[in-house]
């Protein structure tokens, strides 16, 4: 049957509001709330013996993979390669037998990702796919499917599938870390608690809708927008820039905040808004000083932060959105939500066809 918009203006708006729900549903499938432990489906290989992972995906799913790499490397101490699926085969990376091929896709039908999956298949790699459509072509060709429980995503711009992918990758990280002896029970409980807390924190993001709309008023006037982030917030910036381009047709570029001084800072003047994602973490001060440099050159700062960072950020930002402070581990999941909401509000102001942006298809079945 057809799915309604439940009173929302667009499917995208409805799906944005489903973030808390789908994070919760996905966790329900992967976490035992009583013991606060992650439960993976039975695997046909030993996670402890995997020497390396290669992650591949397209578009937003690729950015989810980049955040997954931060987690797998930092928490599970597993070396990770990552490529966009359309390029992976050309790099033809030498892969150790028994490595983990981690494919991420909402639809499970993306031609580039499917081709990457098949090329990994030839190399005695374990194929684990993170998929929203569990009866898809990629599902049939994978050794293991880790399902995102996001429900059907209608809007061409991916929203809730992305946070569900991150939720699965976070759980996979915890299970991998445990298998590799990098996480004791107490530490696992701590990380799982941060995940279980997330649906409530995500629901609070919608209290910031007015602040996000105020930001959108500044972005909609721009021809170019620069998105900045450091560490696991860099892929969040990339996701924000892609979403803005995709549905508002405004040119946006994401940069690792520290890389700006190596080139793009020359672009900055009052006409280029700078959208930055800066929760209070170990990289907070460094990112803030990058923003100061941009401001000194006339840059207008639109900043997403959290309650702990708000005071410092308010001193330099023209507009700011303050989210609840959460554990560093889950911060990229939470910070993604307002960044996607900003793109949505800008597109609404521009009056574009939000759910069906020009030239784009929901699932791209050609290479």
Interface positions with ligand AGP (CB under 6 A): 58-61, 105-107, 110, 113, 156-158, 246, 363-364
CA distances to 141, 146, 150 from 104, in Å:
13, 9, 14
CB-nearer residue toward ligand AGP: 158 or 290: 158
Nearest of 278, 64, 30, 262 to residue 144 by alpha carbon: 30
In Å, how far from its chain's centre is CA 218?
Answer: 24
Q: Report, in Å, the least distance between residue 59 CB and ligand AGP.
A: 2
Of 5, 123, 245, 362, the active-site residue reads: 362
Hey, CA dihedral for 246, 248, 250, 252, is it positive or negative? negative
Nearest of 266, 264, 307, 261 to residue 286 by alpha carbon: 261
Q: How far apart, in whole angstroms, are the C-alpha atoms of residue 46 and residue 54?
A: 16
CB-nearer residue toward ligand AGP: 282 or 366: 366
State how beta strands 31-32 and 37-38 pair.
Answer: antiparallel
Q: Is 141 helix (H, G, I), strand (E, B) or coil?
A: coil
Q: Report, in Å, the least distance between residue 34 CB and ligand AGP.
A: 33
Q: How far apart, in whole angstroms, are the C-alpha atoms of residue 130 and residue 84?
A: 15
Ordered DSSP codes for 218-238: HHTT-SEEEEEE-TTHHHHHH
Q: Report, in Å, the least distance between residue 219 CB and ligand AGP.
A: 17
Give the CB-nearest residue to ligand AGP. Answer: 59
CB-nearer residue toward ligand AGP: 266 or 359: 359
CB-nearer residue toward ligand AGP: 154 or 364: 364
Q: Using an 8 Å Cβ cutoff, are 276 and 227 in contact?
A: yes
State how beta strands 100-105 and 53-57 pair.
Answer: parallel
Q: Report, in Å, the least distance between residue 94 CB and ligand AGP.
A: 26
Q: Is 362 a catalytic residue?
A: yes
Q: How far apart, in whole angstroms, are the C-alpha atoms of residue 76 and residue 84?
A: 22
Q: In the chain, where do the E strands start and end? A: 31-32, 37-38, 53-57, 80-84, 100-105, 126-131, 144-147, 224-229, 251-256, 274-277, 301-306, 319-323
CB-nearer residue toward ligand AGP: 75 or 102: 102
Written as six digits, the tokens of 326 are 């959460």
Q: Report, in Å, the least distance between residue 343 CB and ligand AGP.
A: 9
Q: Report, in Å, the least distance between residue 61 CB and ligand AGP.
A: 4
CB-nearer residue toward ligand AGP: 193 or 356: 356
Active site residues: 362
């Amino acid at each position: 049957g057809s799915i309604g918009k439940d009173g929302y203006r667009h499917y995208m708006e409805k799906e944005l509001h489903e973030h808390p729900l789908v994070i919760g549903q996905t966790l329900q499938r992967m976490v035992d709330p009583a013991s606060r432990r992650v439960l993976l489906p039975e695997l046909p290989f030993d996670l402890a013996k995997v020497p390396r992972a290669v992650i591949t995906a397209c578009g937003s799913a690729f950015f989810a993979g980049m955040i997954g790499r931060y987690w797998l490397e930092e928490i599970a101490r597993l070396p990770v390669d990552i490529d966009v699926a359309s390029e992976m085969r050309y790099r033809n990376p030498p892969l150790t037998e028994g490595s983990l091929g981690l494919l991420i896709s909402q639809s499970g039908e993306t031609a580039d990702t499917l081709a990457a999956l098949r090329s990994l298949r030839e190399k005695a790699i374990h194929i684990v796919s993170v998929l929203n459509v569990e009866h898809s072509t990629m599902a049939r060709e994978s050794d293991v499917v880790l399902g995102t429980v996001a429900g059907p995503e209608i809007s061409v711009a991916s929203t809730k599938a992305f946070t569900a992918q991150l939720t699965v990758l976070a759980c996979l990280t915890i299970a991998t870390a445990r298998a590799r002896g990098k996480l004791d029970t107490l530490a696992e409980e701590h990380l799982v608690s941060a995940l279980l807390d997330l649906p409530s924190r995500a629901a609070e993001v919608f209290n910031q809708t007015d602040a996000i709309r105020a930001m959108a008023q500044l972005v909609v006037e721009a021809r170019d927008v620069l998105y900045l982030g450091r560490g696991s917030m860099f892929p969040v910036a990339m996701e924000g820039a892609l979403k803005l381009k995709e549905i508002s047709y405004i040119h946006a570029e994401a940069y690792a905040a520290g890389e700006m001084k190596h080139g793009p800072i020359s672009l900055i003047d009052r006409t280029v808004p700078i959208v930055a994602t800066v929760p209070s973490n170990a990289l907070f001060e460094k990112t803030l000083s990058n923003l100061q440099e941009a401001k000194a050159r006339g840059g207008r700062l639109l900043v997403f932060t959290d309650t702990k960072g708000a005071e410092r950020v308010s001193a330099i930002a023209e507009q700011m959105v303050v989210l609840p402070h959460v554990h560093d581990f889950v911060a990229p999941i939470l910070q993604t939500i307002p960044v996607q909401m900003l793109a949505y509000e800008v597109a609404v102001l521009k009056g574009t066809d939000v759910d069906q942006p020009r030239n784009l298809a929901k699932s791209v079945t050609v290479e």
